[in-house]
């Protein structure tokens, strides 16, 4: 059974996730660690639970979700994996991060990009890829069917949705992604979003004012 540990990082209060199972292998998803204490919290959790990081995944490549990519690479030798459609989004960070007051250690580039559909396997865990653009050009969500959990990035939040006013964002595309892809998941699927508290698909169908 897969377990999820979350860490709230950086000024944007971004949720960094560690997904792990009884094999001890884990995936680090959207590492937003920015300060030394934020980095330490993640490293210590991995150490204290005898976990072995085997994957670094990005749902998308806005600055608040990739601030820790370089740190994870230096710490564990993992290069990020994301959809190739996020490459320009990642490349843009170098220019805009300083303007936003961020010290940005450039993320390494992927050796392999993730497709729109397919699976990622580590330990005893299988993640299905769900392509859900709209907040960013090529966002991916990671769905663990067996445990019925979704790591959703900035697509769907508790009673909200991702913003669409950033480059590559599109409101109607985002709504379509949520209604056609995410709302096809079981109502009791737990959604772990990029910001804010977790929710369920069923709750958002009932209570999300945007949908």
pLDDT digits (tens, 9 = 90+) for 131-180: 999 999 999 999 999 999 999 999 999 999 999 999 999 999 999 999 99
- Is domain 3-207 classified as CATH 3.30.450.40? no
**pLDDT value of position 144:** 98
Neighbours of 37 (CB within 10 A): 9
Give SS3 for 141. Answer: strand
pLDDT, one tens digit per residue, over 87-103 is 999 999 999 999 999 99
Whether 53 and 78 have beta carbons less than 8 Å apart is answered as yes
Q: pTM of the entire structure?
A: 0.98
pLDDT at 208: 98
pLDDT of residue 59: 98
Q: Which residues contact 147 (CB under 8 A, 6 or more apart)?
A: 1, 2, 125
Please, which pLDDT band fits residue 126 given cuts at 50, 70 and 90?
Answer: very high
List the one residue out of 147, 150, 73, 142 whose CA is nearest residue 107. 73
pLDDT digits (tens, 9 = 90+) for 65-76: 999 999 999 999
Domain ranges of the chain: 3-207
């Amino acid at each position: 059974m897969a377990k999820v540990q979350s860490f709230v990082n950086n000024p944007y209060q971004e949720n960094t996730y560690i997904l792990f199972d009884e094999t001890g292998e884990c995936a680090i998803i959207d590492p937003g660690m920015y300060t030394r204490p934020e980095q330490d919290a993640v490293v210590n959790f991995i150490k204290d639970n005898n976990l072995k990081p085997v994957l670094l995944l990005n749902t998308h490549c806005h600055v608040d979700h990739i601030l820790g990519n370089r740190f994870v690479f230096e710490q564990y030798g993992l290069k990020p994996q994301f959809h190739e459609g996020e490459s320009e989004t990642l490349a843009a960070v170098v220019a805009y991060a300083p303007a936003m007051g961020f010290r940005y250690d450039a993320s390494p580039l992927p050796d392999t990009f993730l497709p729109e559909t397919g699976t990622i396997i580590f330990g005893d865990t299988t993640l299905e890829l769900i392509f859900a653009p709209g907040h960013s050009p090529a966002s991916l969500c990671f769905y663990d069917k067996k445990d019925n959990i979704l790591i959703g990035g900035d697509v769907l939040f508790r009673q909200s949705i991702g913003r669409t006013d950033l480059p590559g964002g599109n409101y109607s595309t985002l709504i379509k992604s949520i209604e056609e892809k995410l709302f096809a998941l079981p109502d009791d699927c737990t959604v772990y979003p990029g910001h804010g508290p977790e929710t369920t698909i069923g709750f958002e169908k009932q209570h999300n004012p945007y949908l």
